[in-house]
Chain A
């Protein structure tokens, strides 16, 4: 199998897994009356994809997941929300990975990703309703994003550790990061 087709298979797997995690997440009720608070399960896949495929292909994974999940389980507005969060989060995580490479752990990247995801969501909401008074709301979201980001980061790190023992990524010919 050539590496281009192999990469496409991995890419499709990521989208499928992220979509299922989005669905599982939509089934878990958040016991907090703060709208927009989520665990961020699909971010596990975003992180793994970012580390194995690099940001351009991860951008595809994120956009495909958001649109598919939005049409399948969410309303039209959840797409706008998620796009703002997902894209800003990916931008921040890619930049951190690019700037600090081996000096930064997946867990810290995940925490910053979670915070920027909420920031993106709040910015989109602020633009849609044209208000500037969402600062307090963002602070509450950020407070929640830190533990969820930690949890997602630890999960992604363990997943990477297990996956790197397999030969799944051997044919990708991409630089590996531990």
Chain B
């Protein structure tokens, strides 16, 4: 590997880190946050992130149980085959998402009240 290739790789890492930092900086806000649940682009429900809440979203494809507690949202239970959404880290900042691909479900944190 040549020197300029190492520079390219370090550059890629830097771009990546700066983008993540910028993402969090831009999206950090004092406004109240909400959790938006949507399926195939259609919004199903919006919950305030500040209130503890548990909700099960069910449709023909299956069900996911969303739990909001102490300012972060997480899917605690799902009947999809891969359980990827359950393994995803709890989300609490605007722009963070949890995706359940088999159920075509997206849970995301948005700015603003419900």
Which residues of A are interface residues toward B (Cβ below 8 A)? Answer: 33-36, 74-78, 81, 104-105, 107-108, 111, 115, 125, 128-131, 133-137, 139-140, 142-143, 146, 150
Is B89 touching A34 in the complex (CB atoms < 8 A)?
Answer: yes
Is B2 touching A105 in the complex (CB atoms < 8 A)?
Answer: yes
| Tier of interface size on chain B | 20 to 34
Q: Which residues of B contact A34 (CB under 8 A)?
A: 88-89
Is A136 touching B96 in the complex (CB atoms < 8 A)?
Answer: yes
Q: A125-B101, A134-B99, A136-B96 are in contact. Are A35 and B1 (CB under 8 A)?
A: no
Asked if B64 CB lies within 8 Å of chain A CBs, one says: no
Q: Which residues of A contact B85 (CB under 8 A)?
A: 35
Asked if B30 CB lies within 8 Å of chain A CBs, one says: no
Is A135 touching B40 in the complex (CB atoms < 8 A)?
Answer: no
1/0 per residue, CB under 8 A from A, across B68-107: the answer is 0000000000000110110111000001110111101110
The DSSP consensus for interface residues of chain B is: mixed
Is A143 touching B38 in the complex (CB atoms < 8 A)?
Answer: no
Q: A75-B82, A128-B104, A133-B108 are in contact. Are A35 and B16 (CB under 8 A)?
A: no
Q: A77-B101, A131-B38 are in contact. Are A33 and B8 (CB under 8 A)?
A: no
Q: A129-B106, A136-B95, A136-B96 are in contact. Are A105 and B40 (CB under 8 A)?
A: no
Is A133 touching B95 in the complex (CB atoms < 8 A)?
Answer: yes
Give the nearest-CB partner of B81 in chain A.
Answer: A75
